[in-house]
Amino acid sequence: MFTSHSVKIQTVSELTSSIRGLLETAFPFVSVAGEISNLRRPQSGHYYFTLKDRESQLRTVLFKQQQKYLALTPSDGLAVVVRGRLSLYEARGEYQLLVDTMEALGAGDLQAEFELLKNTLAEQGLFDQARKRPLPLLPRCVALVTSPEGAAVHDFIRMAGKRFPGFPLVIFPVPVQGEAAPGEIVEALELLNRQGVAEVIVLCRGGGSLEDLHAFNTEMVARAIFASTIPVVSAIGHEIDFTIADFVADYRAATPTAAAEAVVPSRNRLLERIFRADMDMASPLLARITTYNYRISSQRRLLGDPSLLLQNFRLRLEKANSRLISSKTWAIQRLKQRVIRLTTAIHEAGPEKNLEHKLTRHAELRHRLKFAVETVLEKKRSRLHQGAALLDAVSPLAVLGRGYSLTRLLPEKTVIRNVGEVECGDLLEIVLANGVLLAEVVKPRNNS
């Protein structure tokens, strides 16, 4: 103890000890009614919570040895009557109530308000599953409506970075508890819907008591989520925490980390899908080439009139070849545009060089595939031209082109092989390489 000029100066410990003595003497036993909030039970087994009403709150402790006398299990939102002693925790200079007994009065005001609003909105259809929209596979941007200082936003960003490094995120800072929180959350949702930049909105905050989560249990926030034209994901509290926002949102994530897994795609899985699309595109092309090769072989064996059938087959082959090339070019162009969009988005977000290497490899494989297809088609065209030349060489029309003619008796068009088959006055058809002559037999003459 310090003294100065006969004025007694106490240490902090001495003063708090004196206050503790006064409290315990003046309030040896009290009964208090209130609502349990911020309930904690650490490894020591003691319960620590806040006993509150609408205007005040009181720190409260229920030691482990007293719990065996309770007929209920304390929980957040429960209205109770506790009996015990007032004391002072000298290490922090805070007064607290040491509970001996506890009796339940029923659910607290906040819990009752929660249940009433939940039932009202459910009857109005705000929770209907039919109106909930699916989340996009690859959103161009995700907006986080959250407190930038909380652990929840860091959990979300950390998981998003693991799944897709550099993925575009926008953080819209708002308070997540307190009187101003509901209004600012509503303004954030309305502004994001007007801007139309984000394709998914995530409401994000860590766990807490029913009082801490009150902003997400208000009617104004629920109706703002319902009115949003952009899908809304709720990632509020822990897995056991449920809010009105969870029921209205298009998707409810148990934790902020789970929300990141739901809205941010896995880059590795997207690359696998691109590879499978390459394979799926190549397989039908090769199958169609094999089918046309078989049809060419079959048609060669079944050729009747070589000139007419060959000309018809050439036309059909050209049409099929045109359709095949158009289909291949369209599919490659579509995939190329998709790759360009993904590449641009990844480069703007600072992707790793590994992705550029894979895209380069993808382009090389596509080029090799295109070259291989064109090489096969060129070989088939060459073999087709060779067959056509061979057929032309043995064609009767080729013989006529060398100066010979074909003579037929009209009107039966019977081929004339010797002079004795005709008589004077018979009409003849003489087929030349470039046309047909009609003649009349004036006088048959035998060389013999």
Condensed to tens digits (0 to 9), the pLDDT of residues 243-264 reads 899 999 999 998 888 888 989 8
Measured CA to CA, the distance from residue 94 to residue 45 in angstroms comes to 21
Q: What is the reported pTM? A: 0.45
Q: Is residue 72 within 8 Å of residue 107, measured between CB atoms?
A: no
266 token code pair: 């896995």
Q: Is residue 103 within 8 Å of residue 65, measured between CB atoms?
A: no
| Domain 113-263: top CATH class | alpha beta
- Where residue 14 falls among pLDDT bands split at 50, 70, 90? confident
Every domain of the chain and the residues it spans: 2-106, 113-263, 267-394, 403-440
The helix (run of H) or strand (run of E) holding residue 24 is helix 12-26
pLDDT, one tens digit per residue, over 16-71 is 888 888 877 777 788 888 898 999 999 888 999 999 988 888 999 999 888 877 77
pLDDT surpasses 90 at 241: no
Q: What angle do CA 370, 375, 381 make, to 5 degrees?
A: 125
Reported residue count of the chain is 448
- Sign of the dihedral through C-alpha 133, 137, 138, 142: positive
CB within 8 A of 46, min separation 6: which ones? Answer: 61, 62, 63, 64
The letter for the amino acid at 129 is Q
**Average per-residue pLDDT for the chain:** 83
Burial class (CB in 10 A: 0-12, 13-18, 19+), 345: middle
- The pLDDT of 131-148, averaged and rounded, is 91
Is 2-106 in CATH node 2.40.50.140? yes
Distances (CA, A) of 302 to 296, 299, 309, 382, 390: 10, 5, 9, 20, 16
* pLDDT value of position 348: 66
